[in-house]
Amino acid sequence: MAKASIVLDPAFTVGKTDPRLFGSFVEHLGRCVYGGIFEPGHPTADDEGFRQDVIELVRELGVTVIRYPGGNFVSGYNWEDGVGPIDKRPRRRELAWFSTETNAFGTNEFMSWCAKAGLEPMMAVNLGTKGADEARGLLEYCNVEGGTALSALRHQHGHPNPHRVKLWCLGNEMDAPWQIGAKTAREYGTLARESAKLMRWLDPSIELVACGSSSRSMPTFAEWERIVLEETFDVVEYISLHGYFSKHGDKSRDFMAEADLVGRYIDEIVAVADGVAARRRSPKRIMLSFDEWNVWYRTRDRATRTKPGWPEAPAILEELFTMEDALVFGAALLTLINRCNRVKAACVAQLVNVIGLIMTETGGRAWRQPIFYPFQHAAQWARGTVLDMRLACGTFTAGDGEQFPDIVSAAVLAEDGKSLSLFCVNRNFDLAIDLEIDLRGFDLSNFVESRVMISDDINATNTADDPERVRPQNGPAATRHKGAWHLNLPPASWNVFRFECEPVDQRI
């Protein structure tokens, strides 16, 4: 058994997790909407066509905010196509995913679905084929109570109350050659600034996200962020970043290290954003919205992304995740939590079917993917103050010989100060780890529980016929030895340990 140690003190903190950190993403792509969250005629569908089995899983997951309607889809989307009587909505050939879009599900359906699922909507505007006026128009339709043409149109469509959407994305991946209406950084920055100006004049309460690079590997990475923020610094709160983690061949060690690169990516964007602030001598700090992230590699090949013949809601990008994927996913999630002082929003891409946390059969069953569980645990127990831990553990070699820690961990003191949750991923595939926890400054009164997710097959996955092949179970109890807590981390495992403790203000 390997040895490791963590030192925690309530006096040393990173920051508080924002509820929006536990977000996801719904795009008009494959079966995410049609056959995923929306399927009139399904045995569980309500009177609006929303699958109740999916809504129940979404509530269980604990997701807080949903980004919509894209993604690449939004850069060619006319939002007007998706409102009004369904039988009068136009069918379109959709050029992002080469499918036929029926527009049976649109803005008002999305808002109603969010309300029923208890979610905050995060809307994206089309800055690919459209511009500032269309962005202003969608905001007016959604947020203005009445007295204008577009708010009256919403009333006419059966929605007298405004949707009051607070969080808005100014386009999607506008640096990318695959994006409809791709632009240079200066072109996009100028358009985003003018769009933001109109939107803020209409509704000063909104928060805006400027597009950052579509990945860290883009040739314009960092320079794109610098130019965009020079144009938009005064009118946005966030810059976005997107990241997908891939396994190449049988290189499991390199795959495990993908999560560590998330931290570097975040730190680099923060450095660029703060550099722009420094040149302006501004105390303002741009926050980060990691609004697309997940494991994704089996279906990333171009041949798997589209189907011939412009089909409706084809089954594409339906990644079936494994236990190994859940380890990388969990480690990336903990990395986001450990940078909660700057990452204030994040969206797992996507929610259902398309590289989804949840899978469904059209007309049939719904079940949880292995990555569902680390997200669920974090959404439930990582609300509060993240502690600035000191971790010492063994390492593994990946990439070009670089060393990476066997353990990725995060510790969160609950908002009421009465419980502490410690999350750990053991990335050592061969050895269990005895983890010693030095809880300085804590008066821990009780060990509450532990949850562990392991599998006898690292490639095991969940299916409709075997939906619980990979799932968490009750883990070992923490033990006390010579004044310290000791935790056992099985090889290749996701772990959560929870303790009761005295509120900080009662110890002062």
Active site residues: 173, 292
> CB 80: neighbour CB atoms within 10 A?
18
Residue 486 has φ and ψ, to the nearest 5°, of -120, 130
Q: Are strands 238-245 and 207-210 parallel, antiparallel or unpaired?
A: parallel
Dihedral class, residue 267 (left if φ above 0, else alpha if ψ from -120 to 50, else beta)? alpha
H/E element, 276 = helix 252-280
Residues 417, 505: contact at Cβ < 8 Å?
A: yes
Burial class (CB in 10 A: 0-12, 13-18, 19+), 115: exposed
Residue 389 has φ and ψ, to the nearest 5°, of -85, 165
| 3-state SS record for 288-310 | EEEEEEEECCCCCCHHHCCCCCC
Whether the upstream peptide bond of residue 369 has omega within 30° of 0, thus cis, is: no
Between CA 368 and CA 67 the distance in angstroms is: 20
Token pair belonging to 462: 């969940």
Say how many Å lie between the first and final Cα of the chain, rounded: 38
Identity of the amino acid at 160: P
Residue identified by tokens 């358009």 is 191
The separation between CA 84 and the C-alpha centre of its own chain, rounded to angstroms, equals: 30
> CB 438: neighbour CB atoms within 10 A?
15
